[in-house]
Structure 1
Amino acid sequence: MTDCILRVENLAINRSGKNVLNGISFSLYKNESLAIIGPSGSGKTLLGLALAKKIFYRGEIQFVNDANRKIVFVEQLHHFKNLQHTNDLYYQQRFNSYDTEETETVAQSLGENLKPAEVFLKEMGIEHLRDERLIQLSNGENKKLQILKARLEEPTVLILDQPFIGLDQETRTWLQQQFEALIKSGVLMILITSAEEIPESISKVIWLEKGEVKSFEKLEKFSTRTELKTIEIKKDFVNPGLKNFLKTESTETACESVIEMREVSVQYGDKLILDKVNWKVMKGERWLLSGPNGAGKSTLLSLITADNPKAYANSIFLFGKKRGSGESIWDIKKKIGFISPELHLYFNQSSTCFETVASGLYDTIGLFRQLSDEDIELVDQRMEFYRVKDLRQKKLYELSVGEQRAVLLTRALVKDPPLLILDEPCQGLDSERKNEFLELINEVCTRRNKTMVFVSHYENDIPSCISHYIQLEHGRVVEIKNK
């Protein structure tokens, strides 16, 4: 027992009068590390927060040399404040040059740690971001900055919630190497992750299900579990009402040309984000948009979703009409279903799940109007279609990140739009729900003849209905091809 470095005994966490974690007990010994896995809503993040001593819990958590432990918790979503130290930020702010000055630069956020951070900035390939505003960083770039800041704190215990989410393959590989080095240096690593992304350097795995321990074992034994090899989609997972809906013919009369960009360039100060992009998307085409972190994908999508005023300075046609020819942003948004990690970050967490889905009818980040009886019926129907009806009255902040993402996906689909813009939609979903969602997207797109632009850094997160590919690097189109 003298080699025990962490002991957890009978840990329990109660939320809203309900035990969401119960009877959690395990121990880690010298040179061991831990992965926490489980489906959405199983309590993974809550366990991580409890280990970091950030939330109230019952039971016992004891680290060896507890008084000298430096515990750092890296959350899944990167929340930051403006220069007035408030959270008064909005989603489109990163694309409005006159408002971006309200947030710190990377260098300012690092403060006195800037000099020791130089080596990490270079290793992670983000030294060019020193003078960038935090709000203008891509999802992946923000994740890299989170991890960099955690390293600078020189933790003895490092707990990371879904550290690989939002990162391109090259950076994920680099990060796994960093974790291995940290473990060898004596840092106790605890990763909240998926079963598919457990680094080989991790020694123990705790599998949570419905708030309890399903298994706690060595990685080698865990990896042999047959239930991890393939997760079959339940034959009846598609709601009968949705099946009937998908059989009906879409009434949308979208123009044959849905998106067209001609020599599109976007520049902020001296930084060129997009460089002479030419791209045409026709009705019914399903595109995969790929590229490394910081390639310009989010900026490209913002020109389509009417969130970026730079669209007016370019030759961009949406649904057959040139941007700036008299249409309002709401005329464009009503034809688009959209989700992205950034939208998730800025969404009003105090909204109920019903309000969140209903806001998709009006393309607002929150519900700010009275719904008609027909709208209420429609929202309830869609929530039942996409299996989130049981979350109807819960607040977003009461849900796991994966459950929040499922609700926001329903929001993107609620009005049955002709164009879907799905930017890393599978982030935070467990394997079962991810596979079901991908199959659902295949059904919706093919049966309803949807046009779609889909973004993912993971090959196994790409729906089979994808018909075309476009790849960006450094703001330029480097490849366009059919499937």
Structure 2
Amino acid sequence: MPDLAEDSINWFEMKGIAVRLQGRIVLEKVDWSFEKKEHWAILGGNGAGKSTILRVLAQQISYCKGTLRRHPELQGVTHLGWVHLNQPLELLAQEKLKDRWEEYSGRVQEQQTIRSMFSEYMLAEKESQDLLRLMKLDSKVDRPIRGLSNGEWRKLLLFQSLILFPKLLMLDEPFDGLDKTSSKDFKSLLRELVQHSKLSLILVSHRQDELIPEITDVMGLRNGKMEYSGRRSSILTEPNLKKLYRSETKASDTRKFQSEIIVSKFRNIEDSLIPPVKMENVHLYFQGHTVFEDFSWTWPPGEHWQVAGTNGSGKSSLVKLIVGEHLQAYSNKVWIFGKRRGSGENIWDLRKRIGVVTPELQMNYRKKITGRKVVYSGFNDSIGYYGAISEQQKETAENWLNQFDLFEIAENSFLNMSYGQQRLFLLARAMVKSPEILLLDEPCQGLDPYQRSELINKINLLGKSKATQILYISHQVEDKLDCIGATIFLPDGRIERNLSAFRKF
């Protein structure tokens, strides 16, 4: 079918669009006309098809039914900007390859910076300079991209899209992982861009409160189908929002989860007298930037803690020090289960006792395997599934798949899942080995409101069961855990105790 005419008022028109992935229909009967003067939001739960629509528009995947007609100005790749959660993972994966090449060849590889990502000519343009200042990135152009905070990453990816002057900008969950200040700054930045340019916007989100006032129209998706679409003023009603997410909590499932955890073969964390983590006068630097200065902390046995701080304050670095993924853990005074890093301890024996869910793990897990095999890989702490596991281990894995409501999609390709679905599989992967400590770095990132609530309830039950010690990182106020006994604030190390947690549990 021919493209839209030059004088068309629409950027594109979809009629009856359907998408099939791995033999399964994941999107169907989508009718959507997008006028140039409009700004749209797409709402829906995990796996609803929100990102799939964007991938169709970006010509990353094909549709099996229907028609899609574009305005001629959208035919060029540069005229369609797209910012999504997997972009930092893809760029950082390239940096990981450099590390491996450096290890094998002995040749020092140059660190990727904002400046090296773009030509000097491109950065010298007045529009580029103005954008960098607007985004507060002008002082960071020579900083390695690995050292960027979540908020800085979002701005960098937005800059990468805007520098090509797109007509239409697509943002897929741009606020996930941002602290309150960074989220507010990013929202203000978006508003200024929309108000002072001819840019049209598509904003994908799980959350109504993330929609900027300039959004004119809203589409709601559920299970790959359009529930509604139209003007924001008439669409954003409580009944419409409830259609998109499962809101019922099955009490029987909650009791089943709790009872199975308590009678499982977990140890009781209160039996241990040795702190799982102890740090003394830690100094941590990255590319000339101080992350920690004279930082000391002891994680008492039997307690669940939260790590708080703004983007870039060192929360994820703390997790890397514990796991042993940061080399400076071996040059500092860091003890894990009473054994000092660098004293000849067996790193793999220690890792068997630690469950981890982090954005970095999700970045590294780019294997073309099913969700079920991702969970199986947790028994060996491998990226990818290699070799067989016992029948008892399979039974344990299937139990965790059921606990997180993942059984129905367990045979789907992990890489074709939504960001939030991947996060749930990685949590199940962490739990199969019955870890003594569980490190959760933004575990709810990418989850819709229903799944957030369910996951928080289940993590709280884990905490109540005293089966594992939890170290929890989250920016969202509503994602707070009742079982948390204390919070450490970074980078200064200030501690606040929560005595009510001990009274409850």
Q: Give TM-score, length-normalised by structure 1.
A: 0.90
- List runs of 5+ in structure 1 lacking aligned partners: none
Q: Is the 8 A contact 2:41 2:218 kept in 1?
A: yes
1:350-361 equivalences under 5 Å are: 350-361=368-379
Aligned-partner Cα distance in 1 for 2:215–2:296 = 45
Equivalent residue in structure 1 for 2:67, among 49, 57, 60 = 60
Query: What is the identity, as a one-letter code, of the residue corresponding to 1:423?
Result: D
- Once the two structures are superposed, residues 198-243 of structure 1 have per-residue CA deviations (whole angstroms, 9 ceiling, x without a partner) of 2222111101111110111322333332464894533234373663
Aligned-partner Cα distance in 2 for 1:297–1:367 = 29
Aligned-partner Cα distance in 2 for 1:237–1:128 = 51
Deviation at 1:256, TM superposition (A): 3.7
Aligned-partner Cα distance in 2 for 1:178–1:453 = 33
Equivalent residue in structure 2 for 1:393, among 394, 411, 429 = 411
1:251 aligns with 2:267: yes
Q: Secondary structure at the match of 1:178?
A: helix
Aligned-partner Cα distance in 1 for 2:24–2:66 = 16
1:89 aligns with 2:96: yes
Deviation at 1:91, TM superposition (A): 12
Q: Secondary structure at the match of 2:254?
A: coil
Which residue does 2:393 correspond to in 1? 375
Deviation at 1:90, TM superposition (A): 6.3
Aligned-partner Cα distance in 2 for 1:192–1:118 = 28
Moved more, 205-214 or 451-460: 451-460
Deviation at 1:183, TM superposition (A): 2.6
Equivalent residue in structure 2 for 1:307, among 325, 340, 344 = 325
Q: Secondary structure at the match of 1:9?
A: strand
**Residues 239, 388 of structure 1: alpha-carbon distance in 2 compared, 3 angstrom cutoff:** farther
Q: Is the 8 A contact 1:344 1:405 kept in 2?
A: yes
Deviation at 1:310, TM superposition (A): 0.8
**Residues 459, 74 of structure 1: alpha-carbon distance in 2 compared, 3 angstrom cutoff:** same
Equivalent residue in structure 2 for 1:22, among 19, 24, 28 = 28
**Residues 351, 129 of structure 1: alpha-carbon distance in 2 compared, 3 angstrom cutoff:** farther
**Residues 88, 281 of structure 1: alpha-carbon distance in 2 compared, 3 angstrom cutoff:** closer
Aligned-partner Cα distance in 1 for 2:36–2:306 = 45
1:403 aligns with 2:410: no
Aligned-partner Cα distance in 2 for 1:100–1:445 = 44
Equivalent residue in structure 2 for 1:144, among 145, 152, 155 = 155
1:481 aligns with 2:504: no
1:106-125 equivalences under 5 Å are: 106-112=114-120, 113-116=122-125, 117-125=128-136
**Residues 241, 426 of structure 1: alpha-carbon distance in 2 compared, 3 angstrom cutoff:** closer
**Residues 67, 240 of structure 1: alpha-carbon distance in 2 compared, 3 angstrom cutoff:** closer
- List runs of 5+ in structure 2 lacking aligned partners: 1-6, 499-505
Q: Is the 8 A contact 1:265 1:276 kept in 2?
A: yes
Which residue does 1:444 correspond to in 2? 462
Q: Is the 8 A contact 1:287 1:453 kept in 2?
A: yes
Aligned-partner Cα distance in 1 for 2:229–2:253 = 30
Q: Is the 8 A contact 2:16 2:28 kept in 1?
A: yes
1:456 aligns with 2:467: no
Provide the identity percentage: 28
Moved more, 214-223 or 332-341: 214-223
Deviation at 1:142, TM superposition (A): 2.5
**Residues 222, 236 of structure 1: alpha-carbon distance in 2 compared, 3 angstrom cutoff:** farther
Equivalent residue in structure 2 for 1:235, among 251, 257, 269 = 251
1:198 aligns with 2:211: yes
Q: Secondary structure at the match of 1:356?
A: helix
**Residues 471, 90 of structure 1: alpha-carbon distance in 2 compared, 3 angstrom cutoff:** farther
Which residue does 2:3 correspond to in 1? none
Query: What is the identity, as a one-letter code, of the residue corresponding to 1:46?
Result: T
1:101 aligns with 2:109: yes
- Once the two structures are superposed, residues 392-435 of structure 1 have per-residue CA deviations (whole angstroms, 9 ceiling, x without a partner) of 32221122222111111111211121211100111111111111
More helix by share: 2
Moved more, 410-419 or 373-382: 373-382
Q: Secondary structure at the match of 1:101?
A: coil
Q: Secondary structure at the match of 1:148?
A: helix
Q: Secondary structure at the match of 1:477?
A: coil
Deviation at 1:164, TM superposition (A): 0.9
Aligned-partner Cα distance in 1 for 2:287–2:260 = 51
Moved more, 418-427 or 69-78: 69-78
1:127-138 equivalences under 5 Å are: 127-138=138-149
Q: Is the 8 A contact 1:254 1:418 kept in 2?
A: no
Deviation at 1:55, TM superposition (A): 2.1
Which residue does 1:221 correspond to in 2? 234
Which residue does 2:300 correspond to in 1? 282
**Residues 33, 108 of structure 1: alpha-carbon distance in 2 compared, 3 angstrom cutoff:** same
Aligned-partner Cα distance in 2 for 1:100–1:439 = 47
Q: Is the 8 A contact 2:359 2:441 kept in 1?
A: yes
Which residue does 2:502 correspond to in 1? none
Query: What is the identity, as a one-letter code, of the residue corresponding to 2:83?
Result: V
Q: Give TM-score, length-normalised by structure 2.
A: 0.86
Aligned-partner Cα distance in 2 for 1:467–1:241 = 22
Number of aligned residue pairs: give it: 476
Query: What is the identity, as a one-letter code, of the residue corresponding to 1:380?
Result: E
Q: Is the 8 A contact 1:36 1:44 kept in 2?
A: yes
